[in-house]
Chains A and B, each alone.
Chain A
């Protein structure tokens, strides 16, 4: 039985997290795993949308979300947060981007900061699942179809015409009523 660590307060992550970490094989062992994830997180912050294998994307997602949540919680004058950002972001201009762009973008949101989508696997090829990892609010066009109101669909065209007709009949009725009332008085 373990006792939860109470020395540090963390914000709740808004993404699903596996109970145990993935190993991400590398010759340097656990340090190599973190180095790989550093590169992924740096790439994600730099390009805001990257395509990579599913397992690495899922691991990096947790770290990206944690980094952003720490930056939002503590701000840029907190020494430990700066050290963390310095470790995870290998290009130093991204540290500025984190605190000046991403923190204001995400600090008032209730949703997760990243979005992970399945990507098509090139056939024939490796049997690794591909995925796209992106930050919300990125400047690129959306990858998911926009399921909003499409006025060119047939049923919407018919409904719009029906609404116009209804309003027109209502208008004629009301003008007929007002003219009757005028005549009566």
Chain B
């Protein structure tokens, strides 16, 4: 398995090979005659180049960086299915720290559908298995639901508050006072002006006294207040810290998809996603126009 992966990396990395028939979509436009001219050919002649923000808005389109689990054909088919699902429902742009409302089919509910509002504390998975966890406190009970983004049972995903936080995950909300995870179930959406940058909420959440679910002092969290712990905890955290990891270039490489591959993947899906974005923006504007709110 590893040997096959090595062979694949060798052949796909050399640009000037003309005899090997190339399977990847990005190279399908090359023929043996035109191969010499690829370096001078402009990028947008054959296929569109997606804007660099796409990797933040649609991170689940990138495959799993673990080499043993990569499979070009499966990834292509998954992307196709993802686009087909996105045509049906609008899965908006959101980040960890945004407040979402998800309407999903629930066979146990009277009206067969249910709505959950919560703050996104984690985003995981890639491809069709991309998921996110929403947290809320209902009747003094913390509730978290893990939704799969491409689950056919999901009817609607609305972003009530679009914002980012200082950390990649907000699991520490489980050990913080409930007011930081409580959001009213009938919360109104807070729209941002179009083309505005996503705001970063620099809030520093206090934590309840120990015991905690995880050792938060050992994780480099920016979004929590200074921890009031005895020195021995911080000493132990220092002992277990791995400061050399930030210099480990190859480890970093194994966790990412290189830019060239990213561009190929997003170029594949760009035109469809862009069309969907435009049509949804138009529909939004129409809605705002035709439904004025009652006052008084």
Q: Which residues of A contact B (CB under 8 A)?
A: 1-6, 8-19, 21, 30-31, 34, 59, 62-63, 66-67, 70, 84, 87-88, 110-112
Contact across chains for B256 and A8 when beta carbons are under 8 A apart: yes
Which chain A residue lies CB-closest to B127? A1
B143 sits at the interface (CB 8 A): no
Question: Complex Cα distance A12/B5, Å?
Answer: 15
Which secondary structure dominates where chain B touches chain A?
helix
Q: Which residues of B come within 8 Å of A, CB atoms?
A: 2, 5-7, 9-10, 13-16, 55-56, 59-60, 62-68, 123-126, 129-130, 242, 244, 247-262
**Of A3, A67, A88, the contact of B60 (CB 8 Å cutoff):** A3
Give the docked Cα–Cα distance between A21 and B6 (Å).
Answer: 14
* Chain B nearest Cβ from A57, distance in angstroms: 14
Q: Known: A10-B256, A12-B259. Contact between A2 and B65, CB under 8 A?
A: yes
A4, A21, A66, A112 pick with most chain B CB within 10 angstroms = A4
Instruction: For the complex formed, measure the closest distance between the CB of B36 and the CB atoms of chain A, giving whole angstroms.
Output: 12
Kindly state the separation between the CA atoms of A16 and B250 in the bound complex, as whole angstroms.
Answer: 12
The interface residues of chain B lying within 8 Å CB-to-CB of A111 are 14
Rounded to whole angstroms, the CA-CA distance of A112 and B15 in the bound complex is 11
Which A residues touch B257, using CB under 8 A?
4
Of the candidates A14, A17, A110, A112, the one whose C-beta lies within 8 Å of that of B253 is A17
A6 B252 Cβ-Cβ under 8 A: no
Closest to A28 in B: B244
With A1-B124, A1-B125, A2-B65 as contacts: A17 and B250 at CB distance below 8 Å: yes
Inter-chain contact A14/B14, CB cutoff 8 Å? yes
Interchain residue pairs A-B with the least CB separation, the first 9: A12-B258, A66-B249, A16-B6, A19-B67, A14-B13, A4-B62, A62-B250, A1-B125, A6-B55
Determine how close the nearest CB of chain A comes to the CB of B14; give it in whole angstroms: 7
